Amino acid sequence: MLYGLDIGGTKMELAVFDHEHNKLASKRVPTPTDSYDAFENAIKELVLETDRELNTRGSVGLGIPGFINPDTGKAQCANVPCANNQNLQVDLELILDRPIKIENDANCFALSEAIGGAGDGFSTVFGVILGTGCGGGLYINGKLHNGRNNLAGEWGHTPLPYHVFKLAGDDFPIVQCGCGMQGCLDNYLSGRGLELAYKHVAGEALPGKDIVQLFRRHDTQAERAVEIYCELLASGLGAMINILDPGVIVLGGGLSNFDELYELVPPLLEKYTLNIGQLPEIRKAEFGDAGGVRGAAMLNA
């Protein structure tokens, strides 16, 4: 059996898959974020309880909101403070008494969509999460691409170009990002970005889902906010298309459920890419929120 664990900042989920990637069971518990002992124990409980229930000894793959520093072996994951800078892999292998695999959660998402998902059959898949932040994972020629520091695919901290901000107006805000840089697309293409665009246009803040509803009722301010958002998204994706030349870009995260994006964004991509060959398809994730656990389980497939 393949166990996939998706570790989030508030919840962690374990899902069980067979070797054909069929989901057999899953359970969720809150993520202990203050005590590393409690965090480790919660994972141990989930895994050993599942072993007992299924009378098996599952292979464990872990998706984390961060990465393992290949030089130090320590986890870098700010959203789970107690696990940050810990020897997560070594410690969990010890308490679970088996080898485990750990990957960035966006990489797990990309892997899941590349095999049996919306990116199935493409040799190069860029998996993009448009959620509370912007994550990304690269699947190239049959495997995940990790890079020198396990950071590959982290496109969220790429600044958007100045001329694209100008399309939104001279006074469009250039956000100081938590990473230290300015104008990172994480602030503009996540849910916060749509809200920021609406606030810029309408002068008042609204949650993203309300903006989408107004857009569907042809509210002109919401339409303008979505127009700005799509322009910024096309620019961000265009930069990656020029570098990676993927066959498909799969969108996940909350904003991937905004179905109009799949009509509005592709025609804009030409402006931000070299005008050669075919542009990638932009597809919606097939496994939705389950992509994280599915990809984590597939790390051992």
Q: For binding to Zn ion (CB under 5 A), which residues are involved?
A: 157, 177, 179, 181, 184
> In terms of C-beta density within 10 A (0-12 exposed, 13-18 middle, 19 or more buried), how is residue 9 classed?
middle
C-beta closer to Zn ion: residue 29 or 181: 181
Cβ atoms of 278 and 249 closer than 8 Å: no
Name the H helices within the chain.
36-54, 88-96, 105-114, 162-167, 186-189, 191-202, 208-216, 220-244, 261-264, 291-298
Shortest spacing between CB 294 and Zn ion, in angstroms? 28
Could you give the CA distance from residue 60 to residue 102 in angstroms, rounded to a whole number? Answer: 9
| CB 192 to Zn ion: min, Å | 12
Q: Give whichever of 117 and 183 is closer to Zn ion, judged by the CB atom.
A: 183
Closest of 228, 237, 215 to residue 169, by C-alpha: 228
Shortest gap between Cβ of 78 and Zn ion (angstroms)?
12
Minimal distance, residue 133 CB to Zn ion, in Å: 9
* Other residues' Cβ atoms within 10 Å of the Cβ of residue 2: 23
Q: Tell me the C-alpha distance between 174 and 163, whole Å.
A: 12
Smallest gap from residue 182 Cβ to Zn ion (A): 8
Nearer to Zn ion, 82 or 177 (CB): 177
Comparing CB distances to Zn ion, the nearer of 24 and 179 is 179
Neighbouring CB atoms inside 10 A of 95's CB total 13
Pick the closer one to Zn ion by CB: 94 or 181.
181
